[in-house]
Amino acid sequence: MRNLRQLLPSAGSLIVFEAAGRLSSFTAAGRELGMTQAAVSYAVRALEEQLGAKLFQRRHRQVSLTEAGERFHADVSLGLSHIRKSAEDLRLQTTGGHVTLAASTAFGSFWMMPRLQQFRDELPGIDLRIQTADRDLDIIAEGIPLGVRGGEPKEWADYHALPLADEEIFPVVGTSYVAKFGKPETVEELATHRLIHLEEPFREAASWDEWFASAGASLSGDAGRGLRINDYALVIQAVMEGQGIALGWRHLAERLLASGLLVRATDHVMTTGKAFYVIWPKNRELSDNARKVRDWLAAQA
């Protein structure tokens, strides 16, 4: 950056130039920046001399950007806006003004979204940002305070963990499918219906084969060839559209079941012994607001 230091007198002159160009007035720029009109004029002239280009047309009590000044002003404004946004984000991270939660799209859609209004009512001063991804993010490397993961805490030696929900899995079906094809009464009858398979590309997820095995049954070849989707949110959308029957995770499906958008297809529930947790790094102190979000999430369990 040595050449840039030689090219520009100071970053402060760019701030003065941006304000003067935006307001078309040295006086107004001085008022905004807490400077005199003469100081603004001096800073702009020094910048012009350093660049070797005239940036303003000066008229009585009014200034306007030259063609070169307009081009330079557009770039300076864009650059300063990026710097301002980055500085604001850093300040918020330091003070805890906003809290980022890393989670799967399914958790964000079916667990968090139905609770957002409750969250806002109970924690009104916190700006929650939900960052979803198709795989579990390394929240330590990403600088994210909180995450939601499924599995067992012993797998995450670098994190603290609080439980949100046990992993309980049962088949779910949409009302339009039931109206057309009926609802299976037994596990064996379920195997004859059109099944939707979740094929998670990065996260481990239970399969229909495992679910049927947990019920003491096996999956027929025809049922095993059903619709296959690699995103759980799309799986649930397909179920609600009447495309078939899918496995439902209790903590994700409970609101849809309560509203009548989904119904349980059989009574058998598969329990894996695993659970879903809110996690946070052991090597970093949480801000006050991040602690409040963590505790709020755990309280929903």
Write down the residue that tokens 């949409």 correspond to.
Answer: 174
CATH number of 165-274: 3.40.190.10
User: Which pair of tokens denotes residue 99?
Assistant: 């809290």
Given this model, what pLDDT does residue 1 score?
Answer: 47
Domain boundaries, the chain: 2-95, 98-159+276-299, 165-274
Q: Specify the fold of 98-159+276-299.
A: D-Maltodextrin-Binding Protein; domain 2 (3.40.190)
Mean model confidence pLDDT for the chain: 91
What distances in angstroms separate CA 248 from CA 7, 95, 169, 179, 237, one per listed residue? 62, 39, 6, 20, 12
Do residues 108 and 299 make contact, with C-beta atoms less than 8 angstroms apart? Answer: no
Say whether domain 2-95 belongs to CATH 1.10.10.10. yes
> Is residue 2 over pLDDT 80?
no
Same fold, 98-159+276-299 and 165-274: yes
- Identity (one letter) of the amino acid at 158? D
β-bridge mates for residue 228, sequence order: 197
The predicted-structure confidence for 191-214, as pLDDT tens digits, reads as follows 999 999 999 988 889 999 999 999
How large is the angle between the packed helices 250-259 and 232-240, nearest 10 degrees? 20
The predicted-structure confidence for 5-46, as pLDDT tens digits, reads as follows 666 657 789 999 999 999 999 999 999 999 999 999 999 999
